[in-house]
């Protein structure tokens, strides 16, 4: 295997060559990564939405950096979260699709020898907590969050279970906690996000005197679009799902605001870096919720087009991350692990493999690290042609929606909407893309390549 189960992690918080700022002075920064489920760029005011109120995200963008080309790990849930946690793109990651056993039984688990960002930060002295949705293995498997470096967990383990916001139970660590007044379907008495938000805030309070890493995987605004209060959207001339969706986004906004306010209240605001991003491409809800941005991104969740891969992303760290900056330089989820390790003033273990590059200098106002390419793949089912795959190199992006389909080629710099397939005009670039895809994919018996004649359908939600 490419991971090493045993290693020594050297904490080097005083080495300025690795980290400047608080970590270089012996004060390791707190690290928070807020991951929202199925949110799109145009759901936030700072990206142009005029219908949904997101004042705290807009303020976060003004106080930090907003990215126009931040890319998820995969265009559906489980592999994208895996990529974020393990620092490998989806051609190498141990989870490459939304595969589960049976509903409510959890997803394909992370293998026992996986080394996660939480494990690395824990060895560097961090308290580690995962709140919200896990989806990378139940508690009786090797993929349990409590076996993958997290000291504390609260929320949903199974992503299918997370489709309801009024579940009949949540998990407190690995203990099932019944929720009185909820039947597990439809509107009940206890809104799950209330409890998840409380757990996240409690974790911050309890660990405010030591460095902590909070992976806050919020389920909002994934469907079902359910909420206990429609608020300002109750009387809008919209459909019921649109009202609920808008209320979910505004609730996410206010909960993020509460977290930022708590950091200030505890006096740790200027020593805490907060990342926010969506987990995969949006699911269209139609007007009036999303303005018709020009140029329009093609596709959405479950596809390899930009609408499935490009995410809203904000990073805030007062006094360190430039305020009001907007960057169109690309980065991807597999960059988070090496970034977090450098922020912690630590080093990667000998022999550790990552596809990511540290973004620390970039986040502080420098240029994004140079790299040869970005790569994504997605396995969508045992009987369908799979995987879907895409590669980005310079301004060029090549993709195929099935191993049986021809490669499509787009110049993203000139055609972000992916409307003009230039493959026929550039056979040399098609050949280069094919070579990069072959280089980036590593066979894994758990995720076999399957050929077929029909295009792959959208992956399970």
Q: What is the mean pLDDT of residues 366-374?
A: 97
Q: Greater confidence, 293 or 29?
A: 29
Which distant-in-sequence residues (6+ apart) come within 8 Å of 102 by Cβ? none
DSSP 373: -
> Is residue 139 in some structural domain?
yes
Whose tokens are 């004060």? That residue is: 27
How far are the Cα atoms of 28, 115, 318 from residue 21, in angstroms, in the given order? 9, 27, 11
Residue 396 contacts residue 433 (beta carbons within 8 Å): yes
Given this model, what pLDDT does residue 283 score? 81
Residues 243, 289 share a domain: yes
Residues 35, 147 share a domain: yes
- Structure tokens belonging to residue 50: 């005029």
Largest CA distance in the chain: 62
Q: Which of 261, 275, 269 is nearest to 33 (CA)?
A: 275
Number of H helices and number of E strands within the chain?
Answer: 9, 15
Q: What is the pLDDT of residues 62-120, one digit of tens each?
A: 999 999 999 999 999 999 999 999 999 999 999 999 987 666 677 899 999 999 999 99
Q: Which of 10, 84, 15, 22 is nearest to 318 (CA)?
A: 22
Q: Greater confidence, 286 or 376?
A: 376
DSSP H or E segment with residue 293: none
What is the rounded radius of gyration, in angstroms, for the C-alpha atoms of the chain? Answer: 21
Strands (E), 25-181: 30-36, 65-71, 127-133, 152-156, 169-172, 175-178
Strands (E), 23-64: 30-36
| Residue 288 neighbours by CB distance under 10 Å | 15
pLDDT value at 152 more than 70 = yes
Residues 214, 75 share a domain: yes
β-partners of residue 170 are 177
β-partners of residue 325 are 65
What is d(CA 68, CA 310) in angstroms, rounded to the nearest whole number?
Answer: 8
Last residue of a domain, one of 363, 389, 408: 363
What is d(CA 357, CA 335) in angstroms, rounded to the nearest whole number?
Answer: 5
Q: What is the pLDDT of residues 391-407, one digit of tens each?
A: 999 999 999 988 888 99
Q: Which range marks the domain in which residue 269 is found? A: 28-363
- Structure tokens belonging to residue 439: 């280089």
Sheet of strand 396-400, all strands in order from the earlier edge strand to the far edge: 374-378, 388-393, 396-400, 408-411
* Model confidence band, residue 461 (pLDDT cutoffs 50, 70, 90): very low
CATH code for the domain in which residue 425 is found: 3.30.1120.10
DSSP H or E segment with residue 287: none
Last residue of a domain, one of 363, 384, 399: 363
H-type helices in 64-214, by residue range? 77-86, 117-123, 192-206
Given this model, what pLDDT does residue 451 score? 80
Last residue of a domain, one of 363, 393, 425: 363
> Is residue 173 in some structural domain?
yes
Burial of 266 (0-12, 13-18, 19+ CB in 10 A): middle
Burial of 445 (0-12, 13-18, 19+ CB in 10 A): exposed
Q: Which of 123, 153, 112, 113 is nearest to 135 (CA)?
A: 153
Residue 364 contacts residue 326 (beta carbons within 8 Å): no
Residues 222, 160 share a domain: yes
pTM: 0.92
Residues 47, 120 share a domain: yes
> Is residue 211 in some structural domain?
yes
> Is residue 461 in some structural domain?
no
Angle formed by the axes of helices 240-265 and 192-206, nearest 10°: 10
Residues 261, 193 share a domain: yes
Residues 195, 129 share a domain: yes
Q: What is the pLDDT of residues 155-206, one digit of tens each?
A: 999 999 999 999 999 999 999 999 999 998 889 999 999 999 999 999 999 9
Q: Measured between alpha carbons, how far apart are the two ends of the chain, in Å?
A: 30
Q: Greater confidence, 24 or 57?
A: 57
Given this model, what pLDDT does residue 15 score? 28
* Model confidence band, residue 434 (pLDDT cutoffs 50, 70, 90): very high
> Is residue 160 in some structural domain?
yes
What is d(CA 260, CA 201) in angstroms, rounded to the nearest whole number?
Answer: 10
Residue 378 contacts residue 90 (beta carbons within 8 Å): yes
CATH code for the domain in which residue 111 is found: 3.40.720.10
Which distant-in-sequence residues (6+ apart) come within 8 Å of 275 by Cβ? 31, 32, 33, 34, 313, 314, 315, 336
Q: Residues, the chain, total? A: 461
Given this model, what pLDDT does residue 124 score? 98
> Is residue 451 in some structural domain?
no
Q: What is the pLDDT of residues 28-42, one digit of tens each?
A: 999 999 999 999 998
Which distant-in-sequence residues (6+ apart) come within 8 Å of 369 by Cβ? 335, 357, 358, 359, 361, 362
> Is residue 346 in some structural domain?
yes
What is d(CA 311, CA 336) in angstroms, rounded to the nearest whole number?
Answer: 14
Residues 380, 359 share a domain: no
Residues 225, 290 share a domain: yes
Residues 287, 251 share a domain: yes
Total domain count for the chain? 2
What is the percent of the chain with per-residue pLDDT over 70, rounded to a whole number? 90
> Is residue 411 in some structural domain?
yes
Output phi, psi for 99, to 5 deg.
-95, 135
pLDDT value at 444 more than 50 = yes
Which distant-in-sequence residues (6+ apart) come within 8 Å of 361 by Cβ? 367, 369
Residues 378, 351 share a domain: no
Residues 308, 240 share a domain: yes
Given this model, what pLDDT does residue 402 score? 85
């Amino acid at each position: 295997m490419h991971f090493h189960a045993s290693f020594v992690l050297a904490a080097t918080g005083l080495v300025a060559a690795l980290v400047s700022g608080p970590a270089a002075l012996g004060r390791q920064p707190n690290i928070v990564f807020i991951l929202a489920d199925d949110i799109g760029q145009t759901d936030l005011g700072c990206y142009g939405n005029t219908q949904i109120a997101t004042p705290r995200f807009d303020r976060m963008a003004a106080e930090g950096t907003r990215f126009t080309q931040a890319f998820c790990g995969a265009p559906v849930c489980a592999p994208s979260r895996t990529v974020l946690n393990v620092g490998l793109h989806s051609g190498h990651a141990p989870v490459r699709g939304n595969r589960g056993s049976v509903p409510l039984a959890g997803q394909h688990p992370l293998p026992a020898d996986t080394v996660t960002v939480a494990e690395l930060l824990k060895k560097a002295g961090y308290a580690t907590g995962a709140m919200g949705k896990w989806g990378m293995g139940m508690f009786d498997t090797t993929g349990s969050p409590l076996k993958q470096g997290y000291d504390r967990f609260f929320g949903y383990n199974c992503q299918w279970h997370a489709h309801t916001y009024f579940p009949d139970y949540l998990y407190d660590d690995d203990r099932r906690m019944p929720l009185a007044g909820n039947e597990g379907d439809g509107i009940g008495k206890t809104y799950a996000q209330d409890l998840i938000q409380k757990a996240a805030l409690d974790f911050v309070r309890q660990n405010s005197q030591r460095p902590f890493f909070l992976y806050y995987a919020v389920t909002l605004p994934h469907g079902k679009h359910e909420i206990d209060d429609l608020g300002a959207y109750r009387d809008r001339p919209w459909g019921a799902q649109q009202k609920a969706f808008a209320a979910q986004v505004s609730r996410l906004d206010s909960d993020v605001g509460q977290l930022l306010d708590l950091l200030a209240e505890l006096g740790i605001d200027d020593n805490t870096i907060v990342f926010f991003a969506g987990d995969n491409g949006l699911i269209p809800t139609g007007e009036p919720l999303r303005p018709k941005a020009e140029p329009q991104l093609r596709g959405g969740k479950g596809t390899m087009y930009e609408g499935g891969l490009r995410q809203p992303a904000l990073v805030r760290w007062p006094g360190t991350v430039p305020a009001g900056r907007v960057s169109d330089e690309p980065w991807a989820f597999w960059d988070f692990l090496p970034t977090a390790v450098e922020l912690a003033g630590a080093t990667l273990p000998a022999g550790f493999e990552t596809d990511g590059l540290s973004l620390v200098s970039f986040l502080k106002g420098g240029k994004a690290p140079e790299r040869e390419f970005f790569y994504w793949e997605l396995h969508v089912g045992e009987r369908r042609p799979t995987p879907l795959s895409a590669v980005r190199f310079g301004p060029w992006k090549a993709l195929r929606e099935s191993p049986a389909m021809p490669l499509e080629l787009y110049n993203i710099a000139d055609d972000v909407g992916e409307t003009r397939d230039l493959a026929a005009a550039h056979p040399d670039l098609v050949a280069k893309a094919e070579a990069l895809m072959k280089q980036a994919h590593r066979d894994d018996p758990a995720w076999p390549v399957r050929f077929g004649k029909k295009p792959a359908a959208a992956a399970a939600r």
